[in-house]
Chain A
Amino acid sequence: MPEQTEELVLLEMLDHLLDRGVVIAGEAVISIGDVDLLYLGLNIVLANVDAVMRVSKR
């Protein structure tokens, strides 16, 4: 198999491993773009991390 094809297959495998499948609630910290992080917890909180930190400091 040519090296470039092998790399593509490996990348595709890793893409499916890291970015697909069922997300178990309470387990995910998700990055969007290169700026924001979302925290997904127990199907209750879906919020910007900055906002969560602000609220938690009150």
Chain B
Amino acid sequence: MKSLVIGAHLLRDDVEPVAQALAVGDLYLSAVDIENDQPLGDRELLLRVAAIRAKLLDVATFVAIRYGFTAGSAEEAQWKCAAHIAQWRRVLTAHREHVEMTLKTAAAAPRARPDRRDFTSGADYLRALHDATQSATADPELRAAAEELIEPLAIKHRWIHRDEKSVELAALVPRAQIDAVNAAGAALQARCPDVPFMLSGPWPLEVFADDHE
């Protein structure tokens, strides 16, 4: 058996009994036990972990760890996470009452995705991929309205580029403001009815987990 890790938490009670708690320093990892040969891409496992992740967030805010991180023992988890523990403690303490919300929208004028076959150099291809991703911008009307309606509710916000076809506004908001952010999303839809977007959350600390205050 091994542990498939979900997130890092401040308190053991933030993890148990929803998931298994692995102590790492003075923090706790949430995890589920899986067989050593269990495929991580298994649909049932993905859905199970997604459901546990949502339940854990109901209990307390945690640092999300990218899916796929496994450890054979608490000791292995400890040494693999050692470099992160101080930062996690810092953000978990600062943002215990905060969650992330995400507004995802299609890029207004997406640049074509670079074709690997057009590049002899892998580095040039990666640079072109990066440039295409960074050039994605939201519809100006939607962006202005989001900045007016959602950003004032956020402690921090950031426009992020994940690919050349979309752009996202990630906002760190107090749990008490989740309903207000959703209401702002409805107002945004009324103001920009022709611009497709998706407001989702709450999410754990994903985008802001690496922030150094």
Contact = CB atoms under 8 A, between A and B. Distances in A.
B36 to A, nearest CB: 16
Nearest to A8: B198
B59 interface: no
Given A20-B64, A22-B64, A36 B125 contact: yes
Interface in A21-57: 21-28, 32-33, 35-36, 48, 50-51
Given A13-B54, A27-B69, A22 B200 contact: no
A16 interface: yes
Contacts of A24: 5, 65-66, 69, 80-81, 84
B116 interface: yes
A43 to B, nearest CB: 8
Given A13-B50, A26-B80, A21 B129 contact: no
B200 A32 contact: no
B65 A21 contact: yes
A22 B5 CA distance: 11
B113 A21 contact: no
B83 A25 contact: yes
Interface residues of B, number: 38
Nearest to B210: A22
Nearest to A29: B68
Contact of A21 (B67, B83, B125): B67
A26 B67 CA distance: 13
A19 interface: yes
Contacts of B66: 18-24, 27-28
Contacts of A20: 64, 66, 203, 206-207
A24 B31 CA distance: 14
Contacts of B204: 21
Q: Which of A8, A18, A25 has the most CB of B within 10 A?
A: A18
B76 to A, nearest CB: 11
Nearest to A25: B83
B63 interface: yes
A17 interface: yes
Contacts of B53: 13, 17
A22 B84 contact: yes
B116 A35 contact: yes
Interface in B92-140: 102, 104, 113, 116, 122, 125-126, 129
Interface of A: 8-10, 12-14, 16-28, 32-33, 35-36, 48, 50-51
